[in-house]
């Protein structure tokens, strides 16, 4: 069987070129991080196809095209690949490092490509650069996989490992074969070209799987978040409440309600009222322990789930929250406006059948706190303090 490496390279270029517009078109339907990562990946494919095309023309066009420009374009595509994947892995971009590694490699390749031609040194430089980029992906991927990881991340790990193996073979040949060259049909070169030809499909599949996973996680986060305050919403509170109740451990629930909130809305307007709610949520959030769950159940009412807490813990936190809010001076339209919250507390008892029963008792305690004059804490089944 005769494998023509230039033809393989062209096939890789064609594949990447066919997939790229589909991805770039698809970006229109998305926003935010999802859109940015898809766009970067689409650009990566365009750059790769251009790079492979120029590389395939080695010997037929000047070295400035097939070495200097081809490598420059491919290096940018590898750096952008790392950027797109780091975006999906939610780790800092390190754009400075990506650019510095790419530039150093490109300068080295230009020097040993045009000024003092040396194929072996060029391949070593390219391998070192790819090694750095691979490291910048494998490190966060390893961390993600250690925390459980996902199928998509494992697929991406295989794709990256495939690239490392193909390059390892190429380096091995570089050290052992007397005659080397990009388009010589040696096993290492063939493995590299075959991998390079298939890579746009495999890597894009891995990327899309990871992308889909990140999009799902983002959707789930949005579906569980109250957009006004950034705290959990009722759906998340129901789920978390059921989960905490299901553990059988101690559980306390605080129902908090801003006092005379209607007056703030009436006087300063709904938009200012919204800002007050966000400030309240943020202020209360600063007093919570890891694992405590704060959410808005609606209007000016918040629910706080306190796992592994007894009545003393819950009352102490409720009192701290009440006191903290009472000292928050809100400057609204140039006026300092006092604000307070009333809080109902309930802790799990053997009679509670589910978390909802606990919430109902906290709600009744809150009603008692309001009735007793507001700005106070009342525990369920207790007389108002
Ligand atoms: N700005 C803003 N106001 C809201 C929102 N949801 C509900 N409200 C308002 O919150 C106010 C709640 O009023 P009430 O239920 O009478 O309670 P209150 O004035 O706080 O009085 P007490 O709870 O009895 O102390 C109403 O004016 C609602 O319009 C919201 O998302 N944003």
Q: Give residue limits of the domains in the chain.
A: 5-223, 234-379
Take residue 74 and report the two structure tokens written for it.
């491919």
Superfamily of domain 5-223: Rhodopsin 7-helix transmembrane proteins (1.20.1070.10)
Tens digit of each residue's pLDDT (9 = 90 or more) over 322-371? 999 999 878 877 788 889 999 999 999 988 899 999 999 999 999 999 99
Distance (Å, whole) CA 277 – CA 264? 11
Instruction: Kindly indicate the confidence band of residue 147, based on its pLDDT and cuts at 50, 70 and 90.
Output: confident
Residue 193 pLDDT more than 90? no
Which residue from 265, 340, 366 has its CB within 8 A of the most atoms of ligand 1, so it is best to mutate?
265
Residue 97: what pLDDT? 96
- Do 5-223 and 234-379 show the same overall fold? no
- Calculate how far, in angstroms, residue 367's C-alpha sits from the geometric centre of ligand 1: 15
CA–centroid distance, residue 298 to ligand 1 (Å): 9
- CA dist., res. 347 & res. 359, Å (int): 9
Distance CA 57, CA 65 (A): 9
CATH number at 234-379: 3.30.70.270
Residue 107 has pLDDT above 90, yes or no: yes
pLDDT value at position 148? 85
Strand partners for 293: 305
More confident residue, 141 or 192: 141
**Please, which pLDDT band fits residue 215 given cuts at 50, 70 and 90?**
confident
Query: What is the structure's pLDDT at 382?
Result: 62
d(CA 247, CA 354): 11
| ipTM exceeding 0.90, yes/no | yes
pLDDT of residue 1: 61
Q: Is the predicted pLDDT of residue 374 greater than 90, yes or no?
A: yes
Which is more confident, 233 or 192? 233
Give the Å distances, CA to CA, from 286 to 63, 290, 305, 343.
61, 11, 15, 17
Q: What is the pLDDT of residue 384?
A: 44
pLDDT at 183 over 80: no
Asked if 97 contacts 82 with a C-beta cutoff of 8 angstroms, the reply is no
The pLDDT, as a whole number, for residue 103 is 97
For residue 298, give the ligand 1 atom closest to its CA.
6
Interstrand relation of 330-332 and 301-307 (parallel, antiparallel or unpaired): unpaired
Cβ–Cβ under 8 Å, residues 15 and 200:
yes
User: Does the pLDDT of residue 383 top 70, yes or no?
Assistant: no
Mean of the per-residue pLDDT values for the chain?
90
Model confidence pLDDT, tens digit, residues 334-343: 788 889 999 9
**CB within 8 A of 92, min separation 6: which ones?**
86
Ligand 1, residues 300, 325, 330, 376: which to mutate, most atoms within 8 A of Cβ? 300
Smallest CA separation from ligand 1 atom 30, residue: 299
From CA 255, how far away is CA 261, in angstroms rounded? 16
Q: What is the pLDDT of residues 267-303, one digit of tens each?
A: 889 999 999 999 999 999 999 999 999 999 989 999 9
Pick from 296, 307, 329: nearest CA to 253:
307
pLDDT at 202 over 90: no
pLDDT at 24 over 70: yes
For the chain, the residue count is: 385
DSSP 374: S
Q: Is the CB of 274 under 6 A from ligand 1?
A: yes
Atom of ligand 1 nearest to the CA of 259: 25
pLDDT, mean of residues 12-34? 84
Threshold 0.90, pTM exceeds: no
The pair of three-digit structure tokens given for residue 255, joined into one six-digit string: 């129902």
Collapsing DSSP states into helix, strand and coil, what is residue 293?
A: strand
Span 153-162, average pLDDT: 89
CA–CA gap between residue 102 and residue 10 (Å, rounded): 24
Mean pLDDT of 105-117: 93
């Amino acid at each position: 069987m005769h494998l023509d490496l230039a033809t393989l390279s062209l096939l890789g270029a064609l594949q990447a070129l066919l997939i790229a517009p589909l991805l770039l078109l698809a970006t229109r339907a998305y926003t935010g991080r999802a859109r940015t990562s898809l766009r970067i990946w689409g650009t990566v494919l365009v750059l790769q196809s251009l790079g492979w095309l120029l590389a395939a023309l080695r010997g037929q066009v000047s070295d400035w095209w097939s070495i200097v420009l081809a490598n420059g374009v491919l290096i940018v595509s590898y750096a952008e690949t790392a950027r797109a994947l780091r975006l999906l892995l939610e780790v800092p971009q390190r754009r400075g490092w990506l650019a510095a590694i790419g530039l150093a490699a490109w300068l080295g390749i230009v020097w040993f490509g045009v000024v003092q031609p040396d194929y072996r040194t060029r391949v070593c430089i390219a391998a070192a650069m790819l090694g750095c980029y691979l490291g910048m992906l494998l490190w966060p991927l390893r961390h993600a996989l250690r925390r459980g990881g996902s199928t998509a991340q494992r697929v991406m790990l295989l794709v990256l490992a495939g690239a490392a193996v193909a390059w390892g073979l190429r380096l091995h040949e570089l050290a052992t074969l007397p005659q080397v060259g990009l388009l010589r049909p040696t096993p290492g070169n063939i493995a590299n070209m075959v991998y390079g030809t298939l890579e746009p499909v495999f890597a894009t599949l891995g990327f899309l799987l990871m992308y889909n996973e990140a999009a799902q996680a983002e959707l789930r986060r949005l579906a569980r978040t109250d957009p006004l305050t950034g705290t959990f919403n009722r759906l998340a509170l129901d789920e978390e409440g059921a989960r905490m109740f299901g553990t059988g451990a101690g559980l306390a629930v605080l129902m908090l309600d801003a006092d005379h909130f209607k007056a703030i809305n009436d006087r300063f307007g709904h938009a200012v009222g919204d800002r007050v709610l966000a400030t309240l949520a943020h202020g209360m959030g600063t007093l919570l322990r890891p694992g405590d769950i704060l959410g808005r159940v609606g209007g000016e009412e918040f629910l706080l789930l306190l796992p592994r807490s007894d009545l003393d813990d819950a009352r102490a936190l409720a009192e701290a929250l009440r006191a903290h809010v009472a000292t928050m001076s809100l400057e609204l339209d140039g006026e300092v406006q006092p604000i307070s919250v009333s809080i109902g507390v309930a802790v799990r008892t053997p009679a509670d059948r589910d978390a909802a029963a606990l919430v109902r008792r906290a709600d009744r305690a809150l009603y008692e706190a309001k009735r007793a004059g507001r700005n106070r804490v009342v525990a369920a089944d207790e007389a108002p303090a």
